[in-house]
Structure 1
Amino acid sequence: MTQQNQPPANVTVRRADHPGDLGWVVMAHGEIYDRQFGWNTDFEALVARIVGDFATGHDPAREAAWIAEVDGERAGCIFLVSGDEPETAKLRILLVTPASRGLGIGTRLVDECLTFARDAHYQRVVLWTNDVLLSARRIYQAFGFTLTDEERHHSFGHDLVGQNWTLELDQPSPTVR
Structure 2
Amino acid sequence: MKVSTPAEGPGRPLLTFFGVAAKVCFMACPQDNRHSSIAIRSYQGADRIWVEDANVRFYRAFHDFDSTFADAVSAALDLLEGQMSDARSLYLIAESGRQPVGCIFLSAETSTVSRIRLFYLEEAYRGRGTGKRLLSAVVTAAREKGFETVRVSTFDRHPEACRLYESFGFEAVSTARSKAFGKDMRQVDYELLLVGGAL
| TM-score greater than 0.5 by the shorter chain | yes
Distance of 2:188 and 2:166 partners within structure 1 = 13
Give the partner amino acid of 2:39: T
Aligned to 1:22: 48
4+ long deviations beyond 4 Å:
2-8
Match of 2:144 in 1: 119
User: Relative to structure 1, is the Cα distance of residues 8 and 49 closer, same or farther in structure 2, using a 3 angstrom cutoff?
Assistant: closer
Partner SS, residue 25 of structure 1: helix
User: One-letter code of the match for 1:150?
Assistant: T
Separation (CA, whole Å) in 1 of partners of 2:63 and 2:31: 30
Aligned 8 A contact 2:171 2:190 in 1: yes
What is aligned with 1:93?
A: 118
1:64 maps to what in 2?
90
| Residue matched to 2:22 | none
Q: Report the counterpart of residue 142 of structure 1 in structure 2.
A: 167
**Per the alignment, do residues 153 and 116 of structure 1 end up closer, same or farther by CA in structure 2, a change over 3 Å counting?**
same
Q: Is there any run of 5+ residues in structure 1 with no aligned partner, and where?
A: none
Segments of structure 2 that go 5 or more residues without pairing to the other structure are: 1-28
* C-alpha contact 1:149 1:164 (8 A) present in aligned 2: yes
Give the structure 2 partner of residue 157 of structure 1. 182
Q: Among the aligned pairs, what percent are the same residue?
A: 26
For the structure 1 residues 141 and 3, does the alpha-carbon distance in structure 2 shift closer, same or farther, using more than 3 Å as the test?
closer
Q: Deviation of residue 146 (structure 1)?
A: 0.1
Conserved 8 A contact 1:42-1:156: yes
Instruction: Tell whether 2:131 aligns with 1:102.
Output: no
| Cα-Cα RMSD | 2.0
Match status 1:39 vs 2:49? no
- AA of the residue aligned to 1:39: F
What is the alpha-carbon distance in structure 2 between the residues aligned to residue 101 and residue 86 of structure 1?
Answer: 33
**Counterpart in the other structure of 1:74:** 100
Distance in structure 2 (CA, Å) of the matches to 1:6 and 1:105:
14
TM-score, structure 2 as length reference = 0.79
Q: What is the distance in 2 between the residues matched to 1:70 and 1:78?
A: 15
AA aligned opposite 1:41: S
What's the CA shift for 1:30?
Answer: 0.4
The higher-RCO structure (CA 8 Å, 6+ apart) is 2
Instruction: Please state how far the C-alpha of 1:137 moved relative to its aligned partner.
Output: 1.4
Tell whether the 8 Å contact from 1:150 to 1:163 is kept in structure 2 after alignment: yes
**Which whole-Å deviations, capped at 9, do the CAs of 1:85-135 have from their partners, x for residues lacking one?**
310000111101111111211111111111111111000001111111222
SS at match of 2:157: coil
**Shift of residue 5, structure 1, vs aligned partner:** 7.3
Is 1:10 the counterpart of 2:30 in the alignment? no
Evaluate the alpha carbon distance shift between residue 86 and residue 98 of structure 1 in structure 2; reply closer, same or farther with a 3 A threshold.
same
Q: Confirm or deny: 8 A CA contact 2:113 2:150 kept in the other structure.
A: yes
